[in-house]
Amino acid sequence: MFHNARIGLVIPCYKVKNQLSEVISSIPEWVDGIYLIDDACPEKSVQYVMNSVSDSRIKVVYLEKNGGVGYAVKQGYLMAVEGNQDLIVRIDGDGQMDLNHLADLLMPLIKGEADFSKGNRFFYVEDISKMPKRRIVGNIVLSFMSKFSTGYWDIFDPNNGYNAITSRALKQLPLDKIDNRYFFESDQLFRLGLNRVKIVDVPIPAKYGTEVSNLNIFVSVFEFTFKHIRNSLKRIFYNYFLREFNLGSLEFILGTLLLNFGLLLGSISWIIGMGTGAPTPVSRLILIAMTTLSGLQFILGFLAYDMNKQTSHSAKNS
């Protein structure tokens, strides 16, 4: 146990044959349960390691077909809850998560400061320089999209799989609705946001060795963009129209209508002008400018309201 809390460690395993044994050996003794989920790994990573590792804390699930990293994590979550673990940590089996920082990740949950904590690889500048450049670019883009879709404006590095959650918060999540693949982390944050769960970022550097990532960051940016837009619209509808109607709701409606009207009228006027060669009337130009700028102002007001609302909820939950 860790500070009188039972700790469960979930590790989805896929093509980590060369790293998994070292990861298991580095797990602290105070971790109560270790849940290895073999996601139909073609290397049979878990089976290979279990031939040489003996640890009574380990429980293994062999999935018959590959369900994706999110699906594997969810199976581990269910096992940890069934095992009566108080705090559940998720790491990957490739050795990138430094377990020397596991206590740092857990302390905000132990102290009751949050119900979910996650690593942030971008906190220290010297650590960023060690990260592959394509990951830096991809994670920055995804982080900004995640802020809007989840409502957690003060967090970064949303795709970091080094995180911990209380069993209380986990039991409130509709796991069947959370993405089964690489969008899992962002989708989980979205669902946590709908439940207004307090989240904290913990500065934890990543370790980069010989592991090969199965995630194509640039392909994922395009895939994730659609899913972030979908979640953003859901979040706005749930929080600003279904649950309540407030100043932010009005700002979003007015901003969307005015901005779209200004852009549409401007586009039509430009097309007509290109076709006829006639100049656009000054009165119409003024109308286009006023509606577009007003729409932008309302949208900015909505974003400011949304950021402040998330901060106020965090204060109430802390």
Position 182 in a domain: yes
Whether 111 and 219 map to the same domain: the answer is yes
| Spatial distance between the Cα atoms of 292 and 17, rounded to a whole number of angstroms | 56
Give dist(CA 79, CA 50) in Å, integer: 19
Q: Both 151 and 212 in a single domain? A: yes
- Mean pLDDT score of the chain: 90
Same domain for 139 and 215, yes or no, is yes
Domain check: are 95 and 51 in the same one?
A: yes
Q: What domain count does the chain have?
A: 2
115 shares a domain with 22:
yes
Q: How many helices (H) and strands (E) does the chain have?
A: 11, 7
81 assigned to some structural domain: yes
Q: What is the pTM assigned to this prediction? A: 0.88
Which H or E run contains 191?
helix 184-194
pLDDT in tens, 26-70: 999 999 999 999 999 999 999 999 988 888 999 999 999 999 999
> Does position 314 have pLDDT exceeding 50, yes or no?
no
Using the 3D structure, point to which of 171, 195, 230 is the last residue of a domain. Answer: 230
Range of the domain at 133: 7-230
String of DSSP letters for 196-260: T--EEEEE--B--SS---S--HHHHHHHHHHHHHHHHHHHHHIIIIIS---HHHHHHHHHHHHHH
d(CA 122, CA 144): 13
Does residue 235 lie within any of the structural domains? no
149 exposure class (CB count in 10 Å sphere: 0-12, 13-18, 19+): buried
- For residues 194 and 80, state if they share a domain: yes
- In degrees, rounded to 5, the angle at the alpha carbon of residue 40 between the alpha carbons of residues 35 and 43 is 95
In this structure, the answer to whether residues 261 and 188 fall within a common structural domain is no
Do 220 and 91 share a structural domain?
Answer: yes
Q: What pLDDT sits at residue 318?
A: 47
- In 43-129, which residue ranges form alpha helices assigned H by DSSP? 45-50, 69-82, 102-110, 125-128
201 with 270, same domain?
no
Which of the listed residues 230, 263, 279 is the one where a domain comes to its end? 230
Residue 185 predicted with pLDDT over 80: yes
Give domain status of residue 239, yes or no: no
Q: 217 and 260 in one domain?
A: no
CA angle (245, 247, 251) in 5-degree steps? 105
Does residue 1 form part of some domain?
no
- The last residue of one of the domains, among 184, 203, 230, is 230
| Domain-located, residue 236 | no
In a domain, 238, yes or no: no
CATH number at residue 198: 3.90.550.10
For residue 2, tell me if it sits in a domain.
no
Same domain, yes or no, for 278 and 202?
no
Torsional class of 118: left (φ above 0), alpha (ψ -120 to 50), beta (otherwise): beta
Do 138 and 277 sit in the same domain of this protein? no
> What average pLDDT does range 148-154 have in this prediction?
93
Of 70 and 214, the structure prediction assigns the larger pLDDT to 70
